[in-house]
Amino acid sequence: VHAPSEKKICQNCKSEFAIGPDDFGFYAKMNVPPPTWCVNCRLQRRLAFRNERHLYKRQCNAPGHTEALISMYASESDAVVYDHDYWWSDQWSPTTYAANVDLSRPFLEQFRELLRAVPRDALVNFNAVRSDYCNYTTDNKDCYLVFGGDFNENCLYSTFNFHSKDSADLYWADKCELCYEMTDSGSCYNVSFSEFVKDCTNSAFLADCSGCSNCVGCVNLKNKSYCILNEQLSREEYEKRLRELHLEDRESRAVFAEKFRQLKLLFPHRYARIVKSVNCSGDNVVNAKNCANCFDVTGPAEDCKDVYLAASGLRDVRGTDHVGHQAELVHDSFAIFSGVRSVVCSMLISNSYNVAYSYNCRNTNNIFGCVGLQNKQYCILNRQYSKEEYEALMPVLIKYMNDVPYTDALGRTYHYGEFFPSEFSPFAYNETIAHEIFPLSRNEAELKGFRWRDEAGKHYAPTLASDKISSTIAGTDDNVLQATVECEHRGACEQNCTTAFRVTPAELALYRRLNLPVPRLCPSCRHYERLKLRNPMRAYDRQCECGGVGSVRGEFKNFGTHSHGINRCTAQMKTTYAPDRPEIVYCEDCYQAEIV
């Protein structure tokens, strides 16, 4: 019997974290000791292995191959890289790299050697049709720089976009067409500069709206038409005022964007988006039960904790990201999907069970410290054992990992149950999505033991200065396709600014269709700016700010009926809006009472 909860000091950031009774239950089920790193340090450590959006030209390392290929691994990384077709062929085998367990030095050191030796697929990009510059994707057609998004057509510069068409600069979008600069939205047509929008058409600058058409600069509206800044207008008045706004012009658009930003602060914000769920905390959770501190999770999901980015069938998954499609009993892992059970400290595993400390394996079971395997069982360091040998060696190995843990360059130790040290990653910190969720300066990253990739070496010479880009698309001719356009940030932002960028023909055609000017920021800076619109993955304990007749500070007057009457709502909530933020934050009931 364990104490109700135990306080620990994170081995990495030295902050205090709690391990609760249910945590102990889970760790017992997984047969792992409690973690020595706090939840965010563990997430950061895992994310430092995932490079989605940094692609390089490099040589293929397959035997006899000399062709240049597009890869997420830069030439100077320690990865051995094969082209997609060769990697998936039977012309090579990961078992060639099998090693014996050496009980005279840390096991993770031996795993690292295997990880470096076994070749990797240049990109994770399946069924691509004229979409070579996409990663962690499948079934994209005529797409360019799409990451983690599937089944799209003619989409550009987007992440986690699905079933979308003729759109650019999306982040978390589903079934969007002719959309631009959208986050967390679905089923929209011709909508731009909007967030948390569903079933809307011919609109711009919407926040938390659904079923609206011909609306601009609106917040919390449902099934409305012809509104500007939440004011209901006649169709004629709407069209007249819309023309006067000149949203096609970058400068007038910026003025309107600021008005919209101010308007958003006058309306209640939903404390979290937890939909059709029971006993859940975090944000953007749908169809889940007993899921704590979970973010961007679309269920069914049950009994999960500290999960980021998951979908379709999860149970008993903790401290794991990029997981789903029937995953059960997963501990401190990422990219775990499609029929998996009992996975400890692993990455990129599918259709497998009883897996620990492995990378990029599928259709496997009972594997430990393996890389690149498929259709195998009872393997350690890619070497085949009999069932009896394997079962006899496992406890010895686990005990050895605890007796002789791996120690990294900063002196942090890794026992059995701790994920891989980030120094095993083939990527620099700023190449990975760790830098998107936990942005660091170069100096901060290096102090924490991460590597940094210097992008400054590129030295593009811009031929079109950012302040010379026309403020309308009408003022831009086809010559822009030949230009090297300067990014307004000029590399000073630590957002992997490429300092300059090209405009592609498909992109120019889209700007013309949407009547939008060429942007002044490079695609990478635009991506990072977009991410700033989303709340961080951290929940704060706060009280609902509904004061009964309106918001407690008086900016907003309630018009709906609230069950708590004219007294302040007493609901306590876990929200990603930090207490010092300017937004009005309502609990679910109070928020819904104000949506009509």
Compute the Cα dihedral for 72, 78, 79, 82 and give only its sign. Answer: positive
Q: Which is nearer to Zn ion, 152 or 293 (CB)?
A: 293
Compute the Cα dihedral for 432, 434, 438, 441 and give only its sign. Answer: negative
Q: Which of residues 272-291 bind Zn ion (CB under 5 A)?
A: none
Minimum Å gap between C-beta 39 and Zn ion is: 8
Residue of 428, 433, 483, 590 that binds Zn ion (CB under 5 A): 590
Considering the rule CB under 5 A, would residue 469 count as an interface residue with Zn ion? no
Contacting range for Zn ion; rule: CB under 5 A; set: 119-127, 461-469, 521-529, 533-541: 521-529
Residue of 343, 367, 569, 573 that binds Zn ion (CB under 5 A): 569
Contacting range for Zn ion; rule: CB under 5 A; set: 91-99, 137-145, 294-302, 481-489: 481-489
List Cβ<8 Å contacts ≥24 apart for 387-396. 390/366, 393/101, 394/368, 396/103
Considering the rule CB under 5 A, would residue 487 count as an interface residue with Zn ion? yes
Residue of 219, 562, 573, 575 that binds Zn ion (CB under 5 A): 562
Contacting range for Zn ion; rule: CB under 5 A; set: 4-12, 140-148, 186-194, 512-520: 4-12
Binding characters for Zn ion, 522-561, by CB under 5 A (x = yes)? x--x------------------x-x---------------
Phi/psi for 74 (5° steps) reads -65, 160
Residue of 12, 161, 210, 466 that binds Zn ion (CB under 5 A): 12
Contacting range for Zn ion; rule: CB under 5 A; set: 83-91, 236-244, 416-424, 565-573: 565-573
Residue of 257, 571, 578, 595 that binds Zn ion (CB under 5 A): 571
User: How far is the first Cα of the chain from the last one, in angstroms, to the nearest whole number?
Assistant: 51
Q: Which of residues 303-332 bind Zn ion (CB under 5 A)?
A: none
Minimum Å gap between C-beta 562 and Zn ion is: 4
Q: Which is nearer to Zn ion, 506 or 552 (CB)?
A: 552
DSSP 487: P
Contacts of 282 (CB under 8 A, 6+ apart): 272, 274, 291, 292, 293, 294, 295, 297, 537, 539, 574
Contacting range for Zn ion; rule: CB under 5 A; set: 152-160, 212-220, 392-400, 484-492: 484-492
Residue type, 28: A
Rounded-to-integer distance, Cα 356 and Cα 359, Å: 9
Minimum Å gap between C-beta 559 and Zn ion is: 11
Compute the Cα dihedral for 187, 515, 250, 495 and give only its sign. Answer: positive
Q: Which of residues 19-48 bind Zn ion (CB under 5 A)?
A: 38, 41
List Cβ<8 Å contacts ≥24 apart for 123-130. 123/55, 123/70, 123/71, 123/72, 123/84, 124/72, 125/84
Q: Which is nearer to Zn ion, 120 or 489 (CB)?
A: 489
Rounded-to-integer distance, Cα 584 and Cα 577, Å: 9
Considering the rule CB under 5 A, would residue 10 count as an interface residue with Zn ion? yes
Contacts of 261 (CB under 8 A, 6+ apart): none
- The CA distances from residue 91 to 85, 237, 282, 377, in Å, are 10, 68, 46, 21
Residue of 497, 503, 514, 573 that binds Zn ion (CB under 5 A): 497
